[in-house]
């Protein structure tokens, strides 16, 4: 299978982590967002929104949207499951995943930042404030959830956990690590989020996360 990826794309980073955790053989195809390669007709024939990632599976079919791609990978390759079996625990994983995927990440996407600067003439300082604002708002809520000693309703959050939801990596960690990478890149003060940082550091002890990291991608110097 081929993953169309860009080293700094956090949506592609999520998929790279999952492919590595599950040890799924794949090829990386690089789409340079700074050169607008995602907007070419050739790429849009694969991903009509012009967004990275997409995954071409061995049958030739192209899967789009990182959440859908991750659901496919987790369903098709059951080794190293990323979603809990318990329905309520799975719903709670999904809830934090959606806080990142729906309520933080889209507001800070490249096309949104470009629109702020070009169409709305927002200056660099305010654009960076915008970026940090949405991360801080989302991380404040996620930190509160992760800090809560709560093993009811399948939530399993606790400040004693190794990973976000317990002793094993789940989809929450797969989404959280790339979002923290973005936060650090844009110099968000991470002091108010000790649980998030602890989880980020624990995940980055695992090869699958290290190998998926932007700075370890062959296209990071292109
Ligand atoms: N909801 C989409 C978001 C994908 C996305 O936003 N990709 C970004 C990189 S992280 C992108 O391709 N941006 C290009 C652009 O904004 O022009 C997903 O999860 O796959």
Å from CA of 159 to ligand 1 middle:
31
Distance of CA 122 to the CA centre of its chain: 26
- Distance set, CA 115 to CA 10, 96, 111, 121, 183 (Å): 19, 27, 6, 8, 20
Ligand 1 atom nearest residue 13's Cα: 10
Does some domain include residue 221? Answer: no
Please report whether residue 48 resides in a domain: yes
In a domain, 18, yes or no: yes
Pocket of ligand 1 (CB under 6 A): 9-11, 33, 38, 51-52, 65-67, 109-111
Same structural domain, 64 and 152: no
Q: Which of 52, 80, 108 represents a domain boundary (last residue)?
A: 80
Distance CA 160, CA 166 (A): 8
Pocket test for ligand 1, best of 30, 51, 54 (most atoms within 8 A of CB): 51
CATH number of the structural domain spanning residue 170? 1.20.1050.10
- Examine the domain organization and report whether 30 and 94 are in the same domain: no
Q: How far is the CA of 40 from the centre of ligand 1 (A)?
A: 15
Task: Indicate if 206 and 104 belong to the same structural domain.
Answer: yes
Q: Kindly state the tokens that stand for 165.
A: 């939801």
**Nearest to residue 179, comparing CAs of 134, 148, 123?**
134
Examine the domain organization and report whether 72 and 120 are in the same domain: no
Residue 33 CA: which ligand 1 atom is closest? 14
DSSP string for residues in 117-151:
HHTS---HHHHHHHHHHHHHHHHHHHHHHHHS-B-
Are 40 and 96 in a shared domain?
Answer: no
In total, how many domains does the chain have? 2
204 CA distance to ligand 1 middle (Å): 23
Q: Which residues pair with 150 in a beta bridge?
A: 157
Q: How far apart are CA 8 and CA 12, in angstroms?
A: 8
List the domain range (segments joined by +) for residue 200.
87-212
Q: What is the CA radius of gyration of the chain?
A: 17
Q: How far, in Å, from the CA of 52 to the mean position of ligand 1?
A: 5
> What distance in Å separates the CA atoms of residue 165 and residue 206, rounded to the nearest whole number?
16
Cα 156 to ligand 1 centre (Å): 30
Residue range 83-94, pLDDT digits in tens: 999 999 999 999
What does each of the 222 residues of the chain score in pLDDT, given as a tens digit? 999 999 999 999 999 999 999 999 999 999 999 999 999 999 999 999 999 999 999 999 999 999 999 999 999 999 999 999 999 999 999 999 999 999 999 999 999 999 999 999 999 999 999 999 999 999 999 999 998 766 555 556 666 789 999 999 999 999 999 999 999 999 999 999 999 999 999 999 999 999 999 999 999 976
Task: Among 8, 10, 11, say which to mutate for ligand 1: greatest number of ligand atoms within 8 Å of CB.
Answer: 11
Residues 72 and 14 in one domain: yes
- What atom of ligand 1 comes closest to residue 9's alpha carbon? 10
Question: What's the CATH code of the domain at 39?
Answer: 3.40.30.10
CA 180 from chain centre, in angstroms, equals: 9
Torsions phi, psi for 151 (to 5 deg): -110, 15
Q: Are residues 167 and 64 in the same domain?
A: no
Q: Which of 55, 80, 105 is the endpoint of a domain?
A: 80
Report residue 2: phi and psi, to 5°: -120, 125
């Amino acid at each position: 299978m081929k993953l169309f990826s860009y080293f700094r794309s956090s949506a592609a980073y999520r998929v790279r982590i999952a492919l590595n955790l599950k040890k799924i053989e794949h090829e990386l195809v690089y789409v340079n967002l700074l050169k607008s390669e995602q907007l070419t007709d050739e790429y849009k024939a694969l991903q009509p929104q012009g967004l990275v990632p997409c995954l071409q599976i061995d049958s030739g079919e192209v899967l789009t949207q990182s959440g859908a791609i991750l659901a496919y990978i987790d369903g098709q390759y059951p080794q190293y499951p990323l979603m809990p079996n318990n329905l309520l625990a799975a719903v709670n994983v999904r809830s934090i995943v959606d806080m990142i995927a729906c309520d933080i990440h889209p507001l800070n996407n490249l096309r949104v930042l470009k629109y702020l600067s070009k169409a709305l003439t927002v200056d660099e300082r305010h654009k960076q404030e915008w970026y940090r604002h949405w991360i801080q708002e989302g991380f404040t809520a996620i930190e509160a959830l992760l800090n809560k000693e709560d093993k009811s309703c399948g939530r399993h959050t606790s400040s004693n956990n190794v990973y976000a939801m317990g002793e094993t990596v789940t989809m929450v960690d797969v989404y959280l690590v790339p979002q923290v990478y973005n936060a650090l890149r844009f110099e968000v003060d991470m002091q108010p989020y000790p649980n998030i940082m602890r989880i980020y550091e624990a995940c980055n002890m695992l090869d699958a996360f290290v190998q998926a990291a932007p700075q370890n991608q062959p296209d990071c110097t292109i």
